[in-house]
Structure 1
Amino acid sequence: MAEMISSAATGVLGSVIDKLAAMLTDKYNLARDVKQGIRSLQDELRTMEAMLLRLEDKDDDQIDPLAKDWRSKVRELSYDIEDCIDRFVLNHSHGDGGSTANFVHKAIQMVKTLFKDRGIAEEIRRLKRLVSEQSERGKRYYDINQCLLASSSQPVLLDPRAPALFQEARDLVGIDAPREEIISLLRCEDKEHKVVSIYGIGGQGKTTLAMEVYNKITEAAFDSRAFVSVSQTPDMKKLLRDILSQISQRHFDQPQMLETVEQLIRTVKECLKDKRYFILIDDIWNVDAWELVRSALPRNDNGSRIITTTRIELVAKSCCTGIAAQMYQAKPLILVNKHATEFLNSQVLRVLNIEVEYCECPLGHVKSLGQLKYLKSSKLPEDIEKLERLETLDMRWARLENLPTCIIQLHKLVRLFVHSSVRLPDGIGSLQALEEVSTINLGIQSLKFIQGLGDLTNLKLLKIDWSCSTELRDMEDHKVGPQISSLVNLTRLRIFVHGEAGKEGINILASLPMLLSLTVTLSNDQDGDAGILFARHAINRQGFQSLLKLNLRCWREAALEFEPEAMPKLQRLKLELRARCQFKFGEGGLVLGLQNLGLGLKHVAVVVVCYAAVADEVEALEDDIRGAAAVHPNRPILQIQRIHQDWMAQGCSRRPSDHAILEA
């Protein structure tokens, strides 16, 4: 279970890092200081990702409670950053329509200047502060160094990399090119000491590749050779004794002289000081473990060579510090039709990322891939139901209309990611291990699917498009609402609502007992009238008893009212409101009763959409928010940001004569 949670956290974090990279492309034309902020954010997130990787293979009872708490906070922070990026991208592409020449001119100017304003820069700075806080908290609360001196009395676990250490060359496919590249990196004209560090995510074949290099280089070229695996919780005495047994049997046979780590380091160093040696150090998880091993390997300038492997880029950099060294990033595995059958019979592959142009071979051969847990592909493999241990299936970039029914045979599937245009199969309720699903467009799913959705009682994260059209509201015995309300373990929900959900829809969301984070985007029906004035959404004291974070994006006319004692545990509130509606809902404007929220409220962020609004509408909305926040008992931190100011309407005040003006 702990592996699933950590894998989910690292998976989300990896997705966020990729999205940040996309923001740096020329498509968005960001200002220089914003790009610098994003790069800094990426570096910090990569460090946190490395720490999460160390937790990934641990059982739940092996992880300190503080580390578990930090892991959860990092995951939630990742979702917050993803929300920010998604909003940024949507703002880049979303407009309200219009056809006049003046509108087109303003649109062009907006696209040119939107990403140079202070809004996104301030958001990046805020996220950097939050990320830095969690990074420091992780370093304080989770001392990874405690893993270095694991007790030798603990049970010895089978290392899943062991088969790769002894695999025969004839069993390997497509490894020649990377093997020769690493051998070329190890070559050197003089006799300087050199290191090559291979890094990349788990399951990419780093160990197999390193052993191929190790076996390819003839023993005659070196006086001593050894290979060892460090692992996540290394027994350093055992590891050093393993090295010693391979370089000097005479010293190894004197156990009375090798009782401490310090004695072993001195002995190994003495045995190697005048020799040309070749050492392979596999699976290093942290810098301290590497430093300890390196202290036993003398730099004697006899042409010695060291290969290291690690999942963590920072560790790879440490292996290459202060010496002649090269880093080699393990490449994603590519299926070549000529060798696909042989390759897919691998017994150790756990992560597979397939690109469409290379995947023309059926995966009917993969029934032997008993270890495969993660599959990301832009083309759906055949016979996918044979991947019985699969936990993550990511088909977001696949050009699919329907996901085949055989998917429901993947009973260990924990995470399922598809594009919102994909129809999912009936019987989804049989996937009882599912904890995360996105994105489901309920408007295109069958009635049986919607029924089955309610059976996924272990679901914790759900992202859906919910069309609240008359057709869906009138479906007898197959309403969406009851199915969602049965998801009693749901902790995070991201929902895009088309049309008017009404009081019933709010009550459904409010009834979810474990819901901690809710992101709602309100939009009109595709054929709807953008000028429709829906009723004010009232939040009463009965619902949302566990909610900590609420993010509401109003892409249409919408207003809120928080009744006394509403959302008692809410800590963070983020609203995106259209200022042009400020006077349409009467006294109090778009938000009533913000001061009624629970005493735990710490932060309120409001994005004021200025499009088509006049100045007094914008100012009145901001004044109302400031006034309510000021009288809240907890005096939460308030952040107000304006967007689309270049598209504001020009003209007279729209303030009704009976609408009060707040005193400064």
Structure 2
Amino acid sequence: MDIEDIKTRVKDVSDRRERYRPDVTMVPERKLNIDPRVIGMFEEANRLVGIDGPAEKLTNMLTQGDSIQKQKLMVASIVGVGGLGKTTLANKMYKKLGGQLFQCQAFVSVSLKPDMKNILCSILRQISRGKCKDGGENDPVEVAIQNIRDCLSDKRYLIVIDDIWDTSAWKILNCALIDNHYGSRVIVTTRNLDVGKFCSNTVRGAVYELEHLSHEDSKTLLYARVFKEGEVINTKLDEEAGRILKRCAGLLACKPRTKAEWDAVYSSIHSGPNKPKDDMETMRVILSLSFSELPSHLKPCLLYLSFFPEDCIINKDSLLSRWVAEGLIDEKHGRKNYYELCERAEGYFVDLVNRSFIQPLEIDLEGIASSCRVHDIILDLLISLSIEENFVVRSDCVELIPFSCKIRRLSLQDNNKKEKIIPEDTVDLSHVRSVIAFGDAFKRMPPLSRFSVLRVLDLDGFPSKNNCPKDLRNLHHLRYLQLRGHLKNEVLEEIGNLQHLQVLDISNASIDAPPASIVNLTNLQSLLVDSSMTMPDGIGKLSLLQIISWVQIAQNTVAELGKLAALRVLCIRRLGYNKSYNKAFVQSLSNLGKLVGLFIDRSGLCSLDGLSDERIPARLKFFRGTSTTFRQLPRWFSKLELLSGLTIAVNKFTQDDLEMLGELPALRFLELQVYENSTVQERVMIDNAQHFQSLEQMKFLHYGGCLMVFAKRVMPMLRKLEFSFQLGKRVGGSLDIGLENLTSLKHVTVKVDCYKAKIMEVENVETMFKAAVRIHPNYATLDPILELSGVREWQMHEGESSDSPAAASDHGRYAICSPIELSPMLDSFLSFAFLWLLLISTFMLGEQF
């Protein structure tokens, strides 16, 4: 009976549908989605701003070289974030060089999910100039590859492969690119630095990282859009224009040209969901595509950055620790070693940098960034995605969160208002796992008692009127605690009750000494304090401690360091030179068999001698002694087979010391300062081709008369060299150090101490080093930078005293920087300072980078 009833009802519905069918067929309106790269490919060159410089550099990269090098196949990779102008630059080169220098050419776009067969067929159709009309669409991929190779075998070709996302696509395309020694060129554009390097390293090639627009180019682009040609520009707008340049230009086109209106535009554009939808839509599509392409393990780490305010400088180590505490780092094979998880988090960080989502800051000689920043445009996207995914809730967006949702991460922004940040009666905080309060926001935050399952807490000051020190002891699940600003003593004592705490960061707190109760934190694995703090007695009880930074170790506690057998990173300041103290420190060091990084700062004259071969920290990868001088290079350094980065200052350095360092197989970064009082003419020679096989960057500062000389076929990986010497102590000595023998060199910095040197001698140094760079084998293709600068220039002379008019008139001439330019490392993300401007101009107003 039920089945018959259902059949009857279905027939009734069908009859009604036929009875009320409309006569006119309604076609839904469809939005035409056009790939933004299409506009870039057909933009007229005379409408572009700021492209001449990059185009000239890329032209030099593609066309220069000796006769042999010019005949080899070369792959140039243009790297930059989506929307930066890679396609436009590649297309300009394609039009400029294609018809003039090459017999056939092709331009193909790869994109995120490429159809490799169609791409290969497109290349074949273009290079055959229509002779293969079907492009081999009915043939297998291997046949298409062979057809392309046959077609290219006797031709000089130019191929642009636009927007390649991964190495797998390149491996297939590379099979079709034959090196016929006719001087063919391939241009690749990509958003990923690693992919760019891989493509260029497959054959002879180079990576070009797009730079940001100069201030003048940015202003030219801004004024060209807002003002008519020949129109007089009100000088009062310059101040507002400087601030608006980093935000948006398109909105100004329809605004009255007054300071008040421009200031209102600047104030109205801010991070968060209340942004101009039309202007942001195209940009969001571009950046969302990059986000969606991210591996699953990187997405939550990137979304975590939505915690931070606009223009916030984020400490990298702190960020990595938060990722670990939140459980965002994969625990490979179930291992939960804190330091190893931080190492894996470092890899995530580098990956996000290479994908241009994070801008690294304060990069040291070893290429390691100590902090980072997220551009406003990226932050807007992350905030929006976090709201959609309920990943992070910001107090400035809390009104957009449904009452029924469970808040798991809460970012309290300082909005300079006196009202409560979170409505206590409407928002459930019982599921919050992470809280970060910026500025004075902690003063108006809800009581900590409402956060019963908190794992991560970061406050700028404590306590407040809503929170008392006793609230801290009840956070039983807390794993990460960072306290900044002024702290009261009762707060410090409560820290000792957090038995599950793994990371304690009070490095930016205003306190006299760390709390004595921290020795009760038996699960503590990372302790970060201010460098002026001395460790309390009993520090040896923290048997799980893996990271200490930066601390002073008193003589009565130095022996306790040896009990920290799990220690991986030790950062110490003001170690001091005292024989018994140094002996105790070396003894403790001999017990730290797992030590990976040792950093000693501001410790005067020290000695690390006395370690036996059996008790050295054999796993040491990084040693850095800054503002600290050692009597000599410790002999046990010769046993550090894993040492990758070394920064050290010594009183004396010999050829034997150089040989010892050269035998370190993993050494990649070396900064060596020599304070030798002797004025005897000396030099150290690097002449063993088997030494320094892994060294990439080197900094040699000698404050005596010694120079370092490079023989042929040495340091095959050295890319960056910086050295200093005192010219006045080079009595009759040659300054030919053999730069031309460093075949991979890209960047040379020379600092000359001009004290008591003659002006003519300094001029000769300038001439000699410029000549040395010009004869370098990589000069034409790699464009090595020469930076030549003087120190104490006012104290050089030419027969007369240094304050004579003749000498003084020339004193400013010797701070010399060659106009030769090289694409800077990891600089593509700096272009985000003007990305909004570029995107609006490119995709909406017809102006483009």
State the TM-score, normalized to the length of structure 2: 0.40
Q: Tell me the residue number matched to 2:668.
A: 516
Q: Tell me the residue number matched to 1:393.
A: 548
Say if 2:790 is the partner of 1:642.
yes
* Secondary structure of the structure 1 residue equivalent to 2:760: helix
Q: What is the RMSD of the two structures over their aligned residues, measured on CA atoms?
A: 5.2
| Alpha-carbon distance in structure 2 between the residues aligned to 1:75 and 1:410 | 35
Say if 2:625 is the partner of 1:492.
no
- Residues 107-163 of structure 1: per-residue CA shift (max 9 Å, x gap): xxxxxxxxxxxxxxxxxxxx9xx999x978x979x99999998899xxxxxxxxxxx
Higher Rg of the two aligned structures: 2
Say if 2:751 is the partner of 1:607.
yes
| Alpha-carbon distance in structure 2 between the residues aligned to 1:546 and 1:330 | 41
Match of 2:741 among 582, 586, 596: 596
Change (3 A) 1:585 1:64: closer
Alignment of 1:511-550 (within 5 A): 511-524=663-676, 528-529=677-678, 531-550=679-698
- Residues 577-634 of structure 1: per-residue CA shift (max 9 Å, x gap): 2222455313xx1x42110003x22111112222221112211222221111111111
- Residues 264-310 of structure 1: per-residue CA shift (max 9 Å, x gap): xxxxxxxxxxxxxxxxxx44799xxxxxxxxxxxxxxxxxxx99999
Alignment of 1:42-121 (within 5 A): 46=313, 49=316, 55-57=323-325, 58-59=329-330, 67-69=349-351, 78=362, 80=364
| Alpha-carbon distance in structure 1 between the residues aligned to 2:664 and 2:321 | 31
Contact 2:646–2:669 (8 Å) recurs in 1: yes
The percent identity for this pair of structures is: 20
- Residues 75-123 of structure 1: per-residue CA shift (max 9 Å, x gap): 9974527999xxxxxxxxxxxxxxxxxxxxxxxxxxxxxxxxxxxxxxx
For these two proteins, the number of residue pairs brought into alignment is: 406
Q: Tell me the residue number matched to 1:373.
A: 526
Say if 2:557 is the partner of 1:413.
no
Q: Tell me the residue number matched to 1:438.
A: 599
Contact 1:580–1:612 (8 Å) recurs in 2: yes
* Secondary structure of the structure 1 residue equivalent to 2:659: helix
| Alpha-carbon distance in structure 2 between the residues aligned to 1:458 and 1:425 | 16
| Alpha-carbon distance in structure 2 between the residues aligned to 1:593 and 1:627 | 12
* Secondary structure of the structure 2 residue equivalent to 1:604: strand
| Alpha-carbon distance in structure 2 between the residues aligned to 1:331 and 1:594 | 48
The one-letter amino acid paired with 1:508 is: M
- Residues 226-284 of structure 1: per-residue CA shift (max 9 Å, x gap): 115566xxxxxxxxxxxxxxxxxxxxxxxxxxxxxxxxxxxxxxxxxxxxxxxxxx447
Unaligned runs of 5+ in 2: 1-241, 247-308, 333-343, 392-406, 439-449, 460-481, 802-849
* Secondary structure of the structure 1 residue equivalent to 2:691: coil
| Alpha-carbon distance in structure 2 between the residues aligned to 1:131 and 1:342 | 30
Change (3 A) 1:468 1:54: closer
| Alpha-carbon distance in structure 1 between the residues aligned to 2:629 and 2:414 | 55
Q: Tell me the residue number matched to 2:701.
A: 553
Q: Tell me the residue number matched to 1:616.
A: 760
Say if 2:513 is the partner of 1:359.
yes
| Alpha-carbon distance in structure 1 between the residues aligned to 2:766 and 2:506 | 47
| Alpha-carbon distance in structure 2 between the residues aligned to 1:145 and 1:641 | 47
- Residues 329-359 of structure 1: per-residue CA shift (max 9 Å, x gap): 95357462x6765542222543143779643
Shift of 1:387: 1.7
Shift of 1:225: 3.8
| Alpha-carbon distance in structure 1 between the residues aligned to 2:597 and 2:701 | 22
Contact 2:484–2:510 (8 Å) recurs in 1: no
* Secondary structure of the structure 2 residue equivalent to 1:226: coil
| Alpha-carbon distance in structure 2 between the residues aligned to 1:415 and 1:451 | 21
Contact 2:720–2:746 (8 Å) recurs in 1: yes
| Alpha-carbon distance in structure 2 between the residues aligned to 1:409 and 1:536 | 41
Instruction: Between the two structures, name the one with larger relative contact order (CA 8 Å, sep ≥ 6).
Output: 2
* Secondary structure of the structure 2 residue equivalent to 1:613: coil
Shift of 1:71: 6.3
Contact 2:366–2:697 (8 Å) recurs in 1: no
Contact 1:515–1:544 (8 Å) recurs in 2: yes
The one-letter amino acid paired with 2:637 is: I
Runs of 4+ off more than 6 Å: 42-45, 62-66, 71-77, 81-84, 142-152, 181-186, 306-313, 354-357, 440-443
Unaligned runs of 5+ in 1: 1-35, 85-126, 153-164, 167-180, 189-193, 197-213, 232-281, 287-305, 314-328, 473-479, 654-664
Change (3 A) 1:68 1:356: closer
| Alpha-carbon distance in structure 2 between the residues aligned to 1:183 and 1:534 | 60
Q: Tell me the residue number matched to 1:90.
A: none
* Secondary structure of the structure 1 residue equivalent to 2:590: helix
* Secondary structure of the structure 2 residue equivalent to 1:568: coil
- Residues 197-243 of structure 1: per-residue CA shift (max 9 Å, x gap): xxxxxxxxxxxxxxxxx9xx6xxxx3x34115566xxxxxxxxxxxx
Contact 2:591–2:615 (8 Å) recurs in 1: no
Say if 2:421 is the partner of 1:195.
yes
Alignment of 1:164-175 (within 5 A): none
Change (3 A) 1:182 1:484: closer
State the TM-score, normalized to the length of structure 1: 0.50
* Secondary structure of the structure 1 residue equivalent to 2:429: strand
